Chains A and B, each alone.
Chain A
Amino acid sequence: MKDISKEYFGNPVLKNVTLQVKPGEIHALVGENGAGKSTLMNILFGMPVIHGSGGFAGQVEINGAPVTIDAPHKAIDFGIGMVHQDFMLIPGFTVTENIKVGREISCPTLLSQIFSKELETLDLEQMAADARRALREIGLNIEEYVLVAGLPVGYKQFVEIAREIDKTGIKLLVFDEPTAVLTESEAERLLKLMELIAKKGIGIIFITHRLGEVMHYAHSVSILRDGELIMRTAVKDTSMVKIAELMIGRKTEKYVDSVPNQLESVEIALSLQDFHVDMPGEMVRGIDLDIRQGEIFGIGGLAGQGKLGIANGIMGLCRSQGKVFVWGRELNLGRLGAALASGIAFVSEDRRGIGLLLDQSIEHNLVFSAIHVQEEFLINLKLFKLYHRRKARKHALKMIELLDIRCTGPAQKAGSLSGGNQQKVCLARALTLNPKILIVSEPTRGIDIGAKKLVLEYLLELNRQQGMTIIIISSELVELRSLCHRIAIIADGKVAKILQPDAPDAEFGLAMSGS
């Protein structure tokens, strides 16, 4: 792939990226979330996403000859395969059927000759033989006629690989974070297999966050950052620290000018002890944290490592285990709304999914939590409590002015606002609760730079003037480093390290990749 550039609606996500893989080479592709790895792969596979949004600039070449890949099946024809992170397998099918899905071997029959190829009968024996051969090739010792549903997770990944191997003329195989869901020994086995496949002359693109794996198994590595290729080098010429630094390193331009004031208070506002959260894709596996009163505490880390799970667990949105203390009082995690009742407010990362009632007015969105948690904005008629429209409207107007929410008025539907203004509405709702602790998850995701600055400045102001304890969970390190007193980096569901905002880049990079 040469000089690949791609814009999504005027937003450049890839800038002149060149990626080369030799036959038999394991080439690692690393970078933070949003660095452009998945976009690059989507281009390679001719996914409709790319062509639906105006195509891309640059050229894809295979064996030196330029090719056009504008649909997934073309990629397959060129011998490019993918092993997915979450398996594309059908549990109710046998291993054979999964390996051969869509590529069944069939024999012509009378009807098929008259009508269409679809009426050819399946050659089950030949299919089974092929499946057996593919399984043997990767050294997986299972019967080809068992159902995939009953296989352990690690084996499923192997079945996926067998399916790709079985495709004739496979030249390039993409492994998209293959070890993310595997146990250590399974992962090791998989990586060994990867080496084996590479020895057969198949090129491999290996996408991963685990730098240890890169150092151990890859031949060469490309580092992407903000849509740019930072470096391409042989693995033996570099070090883990170097890679980590390059992954993170950027001009630490600060969004907000602030010097974190030294905290005098040592009172603990929120304390987590051996905290586990069962949030799909963001598992938290045992965390101990103490957050001091009046602190702005940052939680960072790569996507999928569990940083988002922490907030959702505390708020009772996901099942959790362990102990949470708020000013020394233990929180009843089993009860929905317990955190709200003890003065914690939450701005969710999933703005449109959890954060807002898209079809209702700004006003309704603002006061909803307060109505239910604190029985504010209600007229008490003894028998039942009726909505106090005037009071709510007054409050809404105040908040709109305070946070500069750009809208036609409090009656505008939340769904029709821009991302930044929606975020302000979410923040305003949390503030309506007058919380003592505010948890903000991904406060600046998907909003423009102006709104970003305003939101962050406002958070800082809340902390400085009202002494509010604020926890910011964000994928953007810059943001955390310009705002927080301390930053915890989460990797693999655990706290990898708690760092000062001015710690060196490499330390952050290493903590994030869990090494």
Chain B
Amino acid sequence: MQTIKKIFAKISLPHIIIVVFFLSMLAAAAPLGLSVRSLIGDTLRRWAMYGILVLAMVPAIQSGIGPNFGISLGIVGGLLGATVSIEMGLTNPWVAIIVAMLIGATIASVLGILYGLLLNKVKGSEMTVSTYVGFSVIAFMNIMWLSLPFSSGTLIWPLAGMGMRNNISIIDSFGHVFNNLFSFCLLGDKTTGIFVPTGLILVFLAACLAMWLFLRSKTGIAMSAAGENPQFTRAAGISGNKMRIIGTAISTSLGAVGIIVYAQSYGFLQLYNAPLMMGFHSVAAILIGGASTKKATIANVIIGAFLFQGMLAVALPVVNKVLPESNLPDVIRIIISNGIILFALSKSKGG
């Protein structure tokens, strides 16, 4: 009884709105003649493919830097890793994706450490600074995407010979490797059933498990404590700044891995301005999952990613059925994601 009460006390109005919205969309799907099964399949896929990007928020929030709007740094690292991997022309998709992840995570952790050093200097304004650092990095990479000396035909524009494509197809390299691993269809065949991307879900859950273990390791405990009360950890002889850097670096590397997992499921690498607002979406997702700007758990990630992505996966076809060719789901996403961030900000102090 006590625990149920506690859970109810934690649920706030924005969360209720989102859950009600999600359920009503789901309820509206069947009468509109949409396949509920394919909607659920879609929800599952989007949940797992965005999941790691949401997970990347956990070490950042726990180490005390708050929601990492600058996850774009990690995303850019991941995109670099992926493009290098494609440029190398690796034929085995497994090798290709692992190489991409390794390169991406390496670049991202180096960037993350530098970024962590910066964030240690701007305590109290991490969110504002990280937002604009994220924007700047994307803008800087726009210049880079135009001028980096890549030569693979899949990467660059065919005619001009200069600059990379907006959308790079990765079906030939490592597209869908995780999605198709152990995948099966529930309640029907390929066209009517629920497509379960087992490999993708496993990767996501494995990442969650790894994070869960990390938070219970010696370093993880110290990091969370430093995030909650840096004075306390200092008294135990631990440098809070170092812990913040570790948290930032892990968050950033997870961003790199996350974008690769996302891309392999989507089938395309999106360069240029595509990742600009991804940081906001990840932040919104974990906040929807019940996290605050000070505390986040793995459960927040799993629930948040599911609600946020599920809501979009279901709302898109439903709304399109009612108002064809509209971008109402997009509008709703903007309102909900920024609304929830605003709500979380009003509950905490400092920017």
Contact call A372/B222, Cβ cutoff below 8 A = yes
Q: A378-B218, A384-B218, A387-B221 are in contact. Are A372 and B234 (CB under 8 A)?
A: no
Q: A354-B231, A354-B232, A357-B225 are in contact. Are A336 and B237 (CB under 8 A)?
A: yes
Confirm or deny: B295 has a beta carbon within 8 angstroms of a beta carbon on chain A: yes
Please measure, in the bound complex, the distance between the C-alpha atom of A326 and the C-alpha atom of B273, giving whole angstroms: 59
User: A362-404 interface mask toward B, CB cutoff 8 Å, 1 = contact, 0 = none?
Assistant: 0010001101110100100000111100000000000000000
Please measure, in the bound complex, the distance between the C-alpha atom of A338 and the C-alpha atom of B237, giving whole angstroms: 7
Q: A317-B234, A354-B232, A356-B232 are in contact. Are A372 and B218 (CB under 8 A)?
A: yes
The listed residue (A350, A359, A368, A387) touching B236 by CB distance below 8 A is A368
- Within 212-250 of B, Cβ neighbours of A (below 8 Å) are at 213-214, 216-219, 221-222, 225, 228-229, 231-232, 234-239
Contact call A372/B237, Cβ cutoff below 8 A = yes
- Grouping DSSP codes into helix (H, G, I), strand (E, B) and loop, the A interface class, with mixed when no group exceeds half, is mixed
- Nearest Cβ distance between residue B231 and chain A, in whole angstroms? 4
What's the A-B contact tally at a CB cutoff of 8 Å? Answer: 75
Residues of B with C-beta under 8 A to A315: 235
Q: A354-B231, A359-B295, A360-B228 are in contact. Are A372 and B217 (CB under 8 A)?
A: no
Residues of A with C-beta under 8 A to B231: 317, 350, 353-354
Please measure, in the bound complex, the distance between the C-alpha atom of A358 and the C-alpha atom of B294, giving whole angstroms: 13
| B214, closest chain A residue (CB) | A384
Please measure, in the bound complex, the distance between the C-alpha atom of A371 and the C-alpha atom of B216, giving whole angstroms: 12
The listed residue (A341, A353, A386) touching B237 by CB distance below 8 A is A341
Residues of B with C-beta under 8 A to A371: 218, 221-222
Residues of B with C-beta under 8 A to A372: 218, 222, 236-238
The listed residue (B219, B235, B238, B239) touching A346 by CB distance below 8 A is B235
Q: A354-B232, A359-B295, A368-B225 are in contact. Are A385 and B237 (CB under 8 A)?
A: no
| B229, closest chain A residue (CB) | A357
Chain A interface bracket (under 10, 10 to 19, 20 to 34, 35 or more)? 20 to 34
Confirm or deny: A72 has a beta carbon within 8 angstroms of a beta carbon on chain B: no
Contact call B235/A317, Cβ cutoff below 8 A = yes
Contact call A368/B221, Cβ cutoff below 8 A = yes
Residues of A with C-beta under 8 A to B236: 337, 340, 368-369, 372-373
- Grouping DSSP codes into helix (H, G, I), strand (E, B) and loop, the B interface class, with mixed when no group exceeds half, is helix
Contact call A337/B237, Cβ cutoff below 8 A = yes
Confirm or deny: A260 has a beta carbon within 8 angstroms of a beta carbon on chain B: no
User: A334-347 interface mask toward B, CB cutoff 8 Å, 1 = contact, 0 = none?
Assistant: 00111011000010
Residues of A with C-beta under 8 A to B219: 384
- Nearest Cβ distance between residue B230 and chain A, in whole angstroms? 10
Q: A354-B231, A357-B228, A368-B225 are in contact. Are A387 and B237 (CB under 8 A)?
A: no
Contact call A385/B218, Cβ cutoff below 8 A = yes
| A385, closest chain B residue (CB) | B218
Confirm or deny: A79 has a beta carbon within 8 angstroms of a beta carbon on chain B: no
Q: A354-B232, A357-B225, A360-B228 are in contact. Are A337 and B218 (CB under 8 A)?
A: no
- Within 282-338 of B, Cβ neighbours of A (below 8 Å) are at 295
Residues of A with C-beta under 8 A to B238: 336-337, 372
Chain B interface bracket (under 10, 10 to 19, 20 to 34, 35 or more)? 20 to 34
Contact call B217/A340, Cβ cutoff below 8 A = no
- Nearest Cβ distance between residue A439 and chain B, in whole angstroms? 11
Residues of A with C-beta under 8 A to B235: 315, 317, 346, 348, 354-355, 369
Please measure, in the bound complex, the distance between the C-alpha atom of A8 and the C-alpha atom of B216, giving whole angstroms: 43
Please measure, in the bound complex, the distance between the C-alpha atom of A317 and the C-alpha atom of B236, giving whole angstroms: 10
The listed residue (A316, A341, A373, A387) touching B217 by CB distance below 8 A is A387
- Nearest Cβ distance between residue B310 and chain A, in whole angstroms? 30
Residues of B with C-beta under 8 A to A354: 229, 231-232, 234-235
- Give the one of B217, B219, B235, B295 with max A CB within 10 A: B235
Residues of B with C-beta under 8 A to A385: 217-218
Please measure, in the bound complex, the distance between the C-alpha atom of A248 and the C-alpha atom of B217, giving whole angstroms: 51
- Nearest Cβ distance between residue A433 and chain B, in whole angstroms? 9
- Within 27-45 of A, Cβ neighbours of B (below 8 Å) are at none
User: A307-337 interface mask toward B, CB cutoff 8 Å, 1 = contact, 0 = none?
Assistant: 0000000011100000000000000000011
Residues of A with C-beta under 8 A to B222: 371-372
Q: A341-B237, A368-B225, A372-B238 are in contact. Are A386 and B217 (CB under 8 A)?
A: yes
| B295, closest chain A residue (CB) | A359
Contact call B234/A336, Cβ cutoff below 8 A = yes
Q: A316-B237, A337-B237, A337-B238 are in contact. Are A375 and B232 (CB under 8 A)?
A: no
User: A413-448 interface mask toward B, CB cutoff 8 Å, 1 = contact, 0 = none?
Assistant: 000000000000000000000000000000000000
Please measure, in the bound complex, the distance between the C-alpha atom of A378 and the C-alpha atom of B217, giving whole angstroms: 8
| A335, closest chain B residue (CB) | B237
Contact call B228/A359, Cβ cutoff below 8 A = yes
- Within 48-105 of A, Cβ neighbours of B (below 8 Å) are at none
- Within 153-202 of B, Cβ neighbours of A (below 8 Å) are at none
Please measure, in the bound complex, the distance between the C-alpha atom of A378 and the C-alpha atom of B236, giving whole angstroms: 16
| A353, closest chain B residue (CB) | B231
Q: A360-B228, A368-B221 are in contact. Are A386 and B234 (CB under 8 A)?
A: no
- Nearest Cβ distance between residue A326 and chain B, in whole angstroms? 15
| A429, closest chain B residue (CB) | B236
Residues of A with C-beta under 8 A to B234: 316-317, 336, 354
Contact call B232/A355, Cβ cutoff below 8 A = yes
Residues of A with C-beta under 8 A to B237: 316, 336-338, 340-341, 372-373
Contact call B213/A386, Cβ cutoff below 8 A = yes
- Within 184-219 of A, Cβ neighbours of B (below 8 Å) are at none
Residues of B with C-beta under 8 A to A317: 231, 234-235
- What are 11 pairs between A and B in contact, CB < 8 Å? A317-B231, A336-B237, A337-B236, A340-B236, A353-B229, A357-B225, A358-B228, A369-B235, A372-B238, A378-B218, A386-B213
Beyond the given A336-B234, A354-B231, could you list 16 further A-B residue pairs with CB under 8 A, ordered by the A residue number?
A: A317-B231, A336-B237, A337-B238, A340-B236, A353-B229, A354-B234, A356-B229, A358-B228, A360-B225, A368-B232, A369-B235, A372-B218, A372-B236, A378-B218, A386-B217, A387-B221
CB within 8 Å of A: which residues of B?
Answer: 213-214, 216-219, 221-222, 225, 228-229, 231-232, 234-239, 295
Closest 10 CB pairs of A and B: A337-B237, A354-B231, A385-B218, A387-B216, A369-B236, A340-B237, A384-B217, A354-B235, A372-B236, A336-B237
